[in-house]
């Protein structure tokens, strides 16, 4: 049994490696054509992306900083998707987690160390409570969570802006003369930097730790097995005696906690204060990465690192060439497209088709 599991893991790792290698090769070829059409040297452009991502300790730190939210949002998405829960509300949960951390960071005076932990835990709880709303709508009124979580994303962006403008700023930003932002967080509420001179914080380590814990939870615990069964075969889960409704709620809360924590780390590690509409598409990046990685936490870390490297490298490319970072955005989307293809299944299908045509001939 254990040997069979190891073989399955090796087969999955091999399949993922083939997918990522094929996707990278395809993206490099199409990306080179796209860059050349714009009148730039593809070799120079790719070289600047690599320099921007890995050219110095500071650049590596910036890559890790962009990797952190990708890991956490993708893990939050994977936790939901593994168990058949369609939580598309990551962005809204991030917003409420971020605002909660920012408010606790400036409004309270707590000892260093304790303060930042309180902010991060509270941000996770805020994300969890915001995820509770669509979960209860599903359980009580059978409202499809695809619709409700999407709707709650828009509500979160507007509601956090309203709270910041009218409750925290007293309406000072309503005429557009002031940025809609909370006061800066106290130093005791900030995460220490990871690499001096870069924007990376200790939040990077926390993100890796969350990925490892989720991997171990699903791989080695009975509860993790039960959560997977709910997603893979709900009838079997019911027959096995797994409380499906309670499990559904637990999955939503866990996913919401991780999303909210991501927002808290963004505040404590990078921004230092909450600003209205401070992010766009962070939650959607996580959903795409979880999809590419097939909800595997280890693969999520790898894909998130590539995503973060492209994000950091695009800034260098934009400075040193006539290209803008939209080119990198297109390359990222092409990577998603090509990584979604199951090349092993495609090759097997072509092989079987060839065998059948040879036998028929």
Q: Say if 325 falls within a structural domain.
A: no
For residue 304, pLDDT over 60 is answered with yes
**CA angle (64 as vertex; 322, 207 as ends), nearest 5:** 140
- State the Cα–Cα distance between residues 113 and 134, nearest whole angstrom: 34
Distance, in Å, from the CA atom of 131 to the CA atom of 236, rounded to the nearest integer, reads 26
CA–CA separation, 220 and 198 (whole Å): 36
d(CA 139, CA 144): 10
Report the C-alpha dihedral over residues 304, 119, 156, 140, rounded to 10 degrees. Answer: 100
Q: What 8-state DSSP symbol labels residue 187? A: G
Residue 150 has pLDDT above 60, yes or no: yes
Sign of CA dihedral 190, 192, 198, 203: negative
CATH number at residue 233: 1.10.3470
User: Does a structural domain hold residue 55?
Assistant: no
pLDDT beyond 50 at 1: no
pLDDT of 183 > 90? The answer is: yes
* pLDDT reading at 361 higher than 70: no
Compute the distance between CA of residue 130 and CA of residue 160 in angstroms, rounded to an integer. 12
Residue 5 domain-assigned? no
| Closest listed residue to residue 86, CA positions, set 247, 228, 279, 287 | 287
User: Is residue 347 over pLDDT 90?
Assistant: no
Answer yes or no: is 332 within a domain: no
Q: Which residue has the higher pLDDT, 219 or 360?
A: 219
Write down the pLDDT at residue 286. 97
- pLDDT band per the 50, 70, 90 thresholds, residue 80: very high
The CA distance from 350 to 361, in Å, is: 16
Residue 361 CB contacts under 8 Å (≥ 6 apart), including other chains? none
Instruction: Report the range of poorest mean pLDDT among 189-203, 246-260, 313-327.
Output: 313-327
Structural domain boundaries, residue 136: 67-315
Distances from the Cα of 346 to the Cαs of 69, 269, 349, 360, in angstroms? 32, 43, 5, 21
* pLDDT higher than 90, residue 10: no
Check the CA dihedral 262-263-268-270 and report its sign: positive
pLDDT at 173 over 70: no
The reply to whether 20 falls in a domain is no
Whole-model pTM: value is 0.92
356 pLDDT band (50/70/90 cuts)? Answer: confident
Weakest-pLDDT range from 1-5, 44-48, 242-246, 302-306: 1-5
Is 132 inside any structural domain?
yes
pLDDT in tens, 241-292: 778 888 999 999 999 999 999 999 999 999 999 999 999 899 999 999 999 9
pLDDT band at 177 (very low <50, low <70, confident <90, very high): low
Cα–Cα distance measured from residue 114 to residue 124, given in angstroms and rounded to the nearest whole number: 16
Name the residue with higher pLDDT: 280 or 65.
Answer: 65
Counting the structural domains of the chain, the total is 1
CA-wise closest residue to 300 among 195, 207, 205, 201: 207
- Any domain includes 342: no
**Is 156 part of a structural domain of the chain?**
yes
| DSSP 8-state class, residue 193 | B
pLDDT score recorded for residue 346: 78
Q: Say which DSSP state 185 is in.
A: P
Tell me the percentage of the chain whose pLDDT exceeds 90: 67
**What whole-number distance in Å separates Cα of residue 276 and Cα of residue 160?**
7
pLDDT of the residue at 339: 85
Task: Please state the rounded mean pLDDT for residues 88-114.
Answer: 97
């Amino acid at each position: 049994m254990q040997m069979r599991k190891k073989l399955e893991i090796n087969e999955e790792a091999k399949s993922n490696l083939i997918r990522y290698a094929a996707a990278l090769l395809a993206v490099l070829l199409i990306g080179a054509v796209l860059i050349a059409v714009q009148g730039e040297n593809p070799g120079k452009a790719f070289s600047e992306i690599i320099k921007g991502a890995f050219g110095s300790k500071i650049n590596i730190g910036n890559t890790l900083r962009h990797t952190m939210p990708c890991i956490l949002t993708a893990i939050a998405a994977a936790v939901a998707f593994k168990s058949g829960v369609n939580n598309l509300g990551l962005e809204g949960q991030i917003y409420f987690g971020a605002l909660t951390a920012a408010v606790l960071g400036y409004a309270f005076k707590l000892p260093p160390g304790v303060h930042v932990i309180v902010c991060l835990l509270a941000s996770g709880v805020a994300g969890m409570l915001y995820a509770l709303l669509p979960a209860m709508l599903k359980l009580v009124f059978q409202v499809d969570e695809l619709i409700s979580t999407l709707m709650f994303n828009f509500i979160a962006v507007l509601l956090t802006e309203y709270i910041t403008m009218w409750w925290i700023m007293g309406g000072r930003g309503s005429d557009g003369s002031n940025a809609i932002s909370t006061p800066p967080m106290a130093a005791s509420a900030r995460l220490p930097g990871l690499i001096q001179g870069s924007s990376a914080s200790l939040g990077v380590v926390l993100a890796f730790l969350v990925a490892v814990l989720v991997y171990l939870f699903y791989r080695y615990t009975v509860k993790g097995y039960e959560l997977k069964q709910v997603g893979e075969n709900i009838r079997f889960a019911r027959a096995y005696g797994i409380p499906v409704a309670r499990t559904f709620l637990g999955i939503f809360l866990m996913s919401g906690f991780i999303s909210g924590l991501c927002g808290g780390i963004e505040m404590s590690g990078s921004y230092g204060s909450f600003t209205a509409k401070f992010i766009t598409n962070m939650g959607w990046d996580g959903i795409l990465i979880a999809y590419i990685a097939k909800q595997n936490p280890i693969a999520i870390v790898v894909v998130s690192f590539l995503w973060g490297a492209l994000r950091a490298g695009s800034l260098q490319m934009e400075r040193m060439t006539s290209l803008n970072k939209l080119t990198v955005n297109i390359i990222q989307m092409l990577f998603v497209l090509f990584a979604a293809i199951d090349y092993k299944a495609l090759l097997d299908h072509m092989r079987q088709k060839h065998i059948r045509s040879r036998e028929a001939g």
